[in-house]
Structure 1
Amino acid sequence: MLRVITIEKEYTTDEVADILGLSPSTVRKYNFYFAKNGVHFTKKQGRLVYTNDDISIFHELKKIHAAPKMTLEKAIITVSKKFNLVPDTSDNISNKKHTITQEQPEAQIKEVQSYIDAKFEERERQLISMAREIRALKKAQQQKKSFYNWLKILLDK
């Protein structure tokens, strides 16, 4: 049995801009607003690539955005709903995700802070101990010198 495999062409931002008659910065701006609404296009090797379906999405966006009093944000939302690009997520779920992502860094910061505090306390104990040892050595040296001075004075007489 013979299977035909079709490879869908992938387009760069510049190619999409040429096809749609837009500037590449406008395509990047559209991509930014789509990403803001949770719609992400494919990346390969760190670069965005667009398919024929993506081009039709951008074409529809361009058409809807051209309507009078239509803002880009509203046009993005309309196109996203029309093409079922945004999964159904309630505000509660997105708020929970946002809260979790904020709590994790806060917990990590507290953990790092407690580690740093423990290390500072350990360092402080070491410094105090070393200072006491140095003081004891200096005192011993002074006592040794005073003994030799006393002995010298005694022998000189």
Structure 2
Amino acid sequence: MLRVVPQERKYSNADLAKILEVPEATLRTYKSHFTKAGITFNKEGKQIVYTEEQVRLFKDMLELHRKGNQTIKECVVTVVNKVQHVESIVKTDSTNTTDETTTYMALEDLLERVKTLENQSSEQRENIEFLNEELSKMPERDKRLMNVIRDIQTVKSELEAAKKKKWWQFWK
């Protein structure tokens, strides 16, 4: 099924001046303020055309000017800042889906790291148990080693005593 996508209506200087109930010269002044604030307007041929969104900007600016004590310039800046704030929120929402994907991938990575750390932890526990068993065998090993050292020392002292005998006591 084919859908007809409605085209956005475009307004000329004269149309917008009638909608806003201001002279065309005043409209050109308003347009220059918006241009200085960073809003761009499209041209068709030699004429500037305004979109529905831009018409809303002009209406909001005039409404602010009529309500408060602000100059046209201040009203334009306020309206443009509101529009930019809304656009940044929309961009933030679109990046949130990317952020969610990135967050999901980061969570998967963290889960993988946790599993790796659990494996390393179990290996370290096994190593600690083995070392504790070896440490419990140490006192027995130390006792045997001390006995061997004492035996060596007695043999050594007997050999030195044998060396100190005089030559005529050799046969004794």
Unmatched segments (≥5 aa) in structure 2: 89-172
Q: Does 1:16 align with 2:16?
A: yes
- Which structure has the highest helix share of the two? 2
Q: Give the deviation of 1:19 after TM superposition.
A: 0.9
Question: What SS is found at the alignment partner of 2:67?
Answer: coil
Q: Give the deviation of 1:40 after TM superposition.
A: 1.3
Between structure 1 and structure 2, the one with the greater Rg is 2
Q: What is the CA–CA distance in structure 2 between the aligned matches of 1:17 and 1:84, rounded to whole Å?
A: 25
Aligned residue in 2 for 1:147: none
Structure 1 stretch displaced more, 56-65 or 37-46: 37-46
Matches within 5 A, 1:108-147: none
Matches within 5 A, 1:6-155: 6-84=6-84
TM-score normalised over the length of structure 1:
0.51
The one-letter code matched in structure 2 to 1:28 is R
Deviation track 1:20-42 (CA, whole Å, cap 9, x = no partner) reads: 11111111111001111221111
Q: Give the deviation of 1:68 after TM superposition.
A: 3.5
Runs of 4+ in 1 over 3 A off after TM superposition: none
The one-letter code matched in structure 2 to 1:12 is S
What's the % identity of the aligned pairs? 30
- Count matched residues: 87
Question: What SS is found at the alignment partner of 1:55?
Answer: helix
Q: What is the CA–CA distance in structure 1 between the aligned matches of 2:83 and 2:11, rounded to whole Å?
A: 20
Question: What SS is found at the alignment partner of 1:83?
Answer: helix
Q: Give the deviation of 1:5 after TM superposition.
A: 1.6
TM-score normalised over the length of structure 2:
0.47
